[in-house]
Structure 1
Amino acid sequence: MSPKVISLVIFIIAYVLFVFFANKRTLIAIIAAALLLLSRTISLSQAFWAINWNVMGIFVGTLVVADIFMDSRVPAYLAEIIVDRAKNTAWAILLICALTGFISAFVENVAAVLIVAPIAFALAKKLKINPTNMIIGIAISSNLQGAATLIGDPPSMLLAGFAKMNFMDFFFYKSRPSIFFAVELGAFVSFFVLYYIFRKHREKMQLVPLEKVKSWMPTIILVALIVALAFSSFFDTGFSYMAGVLCMIAAGVSIIWKKIGRHGSIVSSLKAFDWDTTLFLAGVFILVGSITTGGWIEVMAASLSGVV
Structure 2
Amino acid sequence: MQEVFAVGLFVVVLAFIAFELAHRTVLALFGAAVLVAVGVVSQEEAATEFIDWNTIGLLAGMMVIVAILERTGVFEYLAIKSAQWGGAKPGRILILLALVTAFLSAFLDNVTTVILMVPVTFLIADALDTSPMPFLLTQVMASNIGGAATLIGDPPNILIGSAAGLTFADFVVNLTPIVLISLPVVLGILYLMFRKDLRGSDNAEEVIANMDAAGSIRDGVLLRRSLIILGLVILAFFLHGALHLEAATIALFGGAALMLYSGVNVEEILRDVEWPTLLFFVGLFILVGGLEVTGFVGSIAEALTGVGAGTSATTAVVVILGSGLASGIVDNIPFTATMIPVIQDLAEAEGLSEAEVRPLWWSLALGADFGGNLTLIGASANVVVAGMSERAGQKISFVKFMLYGIPVTLASLALATVYVVLRYF
TM-score over 0.5 (shorter chain): yes
Which residue in the other structure is 1:41 paired with? Answer: 40
> Residue 69 of structure 1 aligns to which amino acid in structure 2?
L
1:206 and 2:203 matched: no
Aligned-pair distance for 1:30?
Answer: 0.7
Label 1:40 to 1:145 Cα distance change in 2 as closer, same or farther (>3 A).
Answer: same
Which residue in the other structure is 1:230 paired with? Answer: 238
Aligned-pair distance for 1:223?
Answer: 2.5
Aligned-pair distance for 1:278?
Answer: 0.6
Label 1:32 to 1:77 Cα distance change in 2 as closer, same or farther (>3 A).
Answer: same
Aligned-pair distance for 1:94?
Answer: 3.3
Q: Distance in 1 between matches of 2:18 and 2:86?
A: 45
Bigger relative contact order (CA 8 A; separation at least 6): 1
1:170-205 alpha-carbon deviations (Å, 9 max, x no partner): 88527313475456545775898799978x999677
Q: Distance in 2 between matches of 1:22 and 1:11?
A: 15
2:96 to 91, 95, 98: 98
Which residue in the other structure is 1:128 paired with? Answer: none
1:110-129 alpha-carbon deviations (Å, 9 max, x no partner): 7634334334534x4xxxxx
Which residue in the other structure is 2:248 paired with? Answer: 244
3-state SS in 2 of match to 1:75:
helix
Contact preservation (8 Å) 2:138, 2:187: no
Which residue in the other structure is 1:146 paired with? Answer: 143
1:109 to 106, 114, 125: 114
Label 1:276 to 1:290 Cα distance change in 2 as closer, same or farther (>3 A).
Answer: same
Q: Distance in 1 between matches of 2:191 and 2:65?
A: 32
> Residue 291 of structure 2 aligns to which amino acid in structure 1?
I
Q: Distance in 1 between matches of 2:59 and 2:3?
A: 30
The CA RMSD over aligned residues, in Å, is 4.1
Q: Distance in 1 between matches of 2:279 and 2:95?
A: 31
Q: Distance in 1 between matches of 2:117 and 2:76?
A: 9
Q: Distance in 2 between matches of 1:172 and 1:256?
A: 38
TM-score, with structure 1 as normaliser: 0.72
3-state SS in 1 of match to 2:39:
coil
1:222-265 alpha-carbon deviations (Å, 9 max, x no partner): 232222111225666xxxx611211111111122234x2x3xx3
Aligned-pair distance for 1:266?
Answer: 2.2
Contact preservation (8 Å) 1:79, 1:116: yes
Label 1:232 to 1:38 Cα distance change in 2 as closer, same or farther (>3 A).
Answer: same
| Count of residue pairs the alignment pairs up | 283
Q: Distance in 1 between matches of 2:240 and 2:55?
A: 15
1:121 and 2:126 matched: yes
Q: Distance in 1 between matches of 2:172 and 2:99?
A: 26
1:72-122 alpha-carbon deviations (Å, 9 max, x no partner): 2213213334555x49544x9735863575367454637634334334534
3-state SS in 2 of match to 1:132:
coil
Contact preservation (8 Å) 1:70, 1:112: no
Label 1:300 to 1:88 Cα distance change in 2 as closer, same or farther (>3 A).
Answer: closer
1:206-225 alpha-carbon deviations (Å, 9 max, x no partner): 32314124222222322322
1:30 and 2:29 matched: yes
3-state SS in 2 of match to 1:273:
coil
Label 1:108 to 1:31 Cα distance change in 2 as closer, same or farther (>3 A).
Answer: farther
Contact preservation (8 Å) 2:64, 2:270: no
TM-score, with structure 2 as normaliser: 0.54
Q: Distance in 2 between matches of 1:9 and 1:233?
A: 40
> Residue 173 of structure 1 aligns to which amino acid in structure 2?
F
Aligned-pair distance for 1:15?
Answer: 2.7
Matches within 5 A, 1:132-143: 132=130, 135-136=132-133, 138-143=135-140
Unpaired segments of 5 or more residues in structure 1?
125-130
Contact preservation (8 Å) 2:86, 2:92: no
Q: Distance in 2 between matches of 1:3 and 1:74?
A: 51
Q: Distance in 2 between matches of 1:202 and 1:75?
A: 19
> Residue 252 of structure 1 aligns to which amino acid in structure 2?
A
Q: Distance in 2 between matches of 1:195 and 1:293?
A: 45
Q: Distance in 1 between matches of 2:28 and 2:35?
A: 11
Contact preservation (8 Å) 1:74, 1:216: no
Q: Distance in 2 between matches of 1:165 and 1:190?
A: 34
Which residue in the other structure is 1:256 paired with? Answer: 260
Q: Distance in 1 between matches of 2:87 and 2:297?
A: 55
More helix by share: 2
1:158-179 alpha-carbon deviations (Å, 9 max, x no partner): x34654569x978852731347
Label 1:288 to 1:188 Cα distance change in 2 as closer, same or farther (>3 A).
Answer: closer
1:122-156 alpha-carbon deviations (Å, 9 max, x no partner): 4x4xxxxxx327x4553344323332338xxxx94
Q: Distance in 2 between matches of 1:302 and 1:195?
A: 42
Contact preservation (8 Å) 1:88, 1:201: no
**Sequence identity, in percent?**
19
Off by >6 Å, runs of 4+ in structure 1: 168-171, 190-198, 200-205
Which residue in the other structure is 1:14 paired with? Answer: 13
Which residue in the other structure is 2:291 paired with? Answer: 291
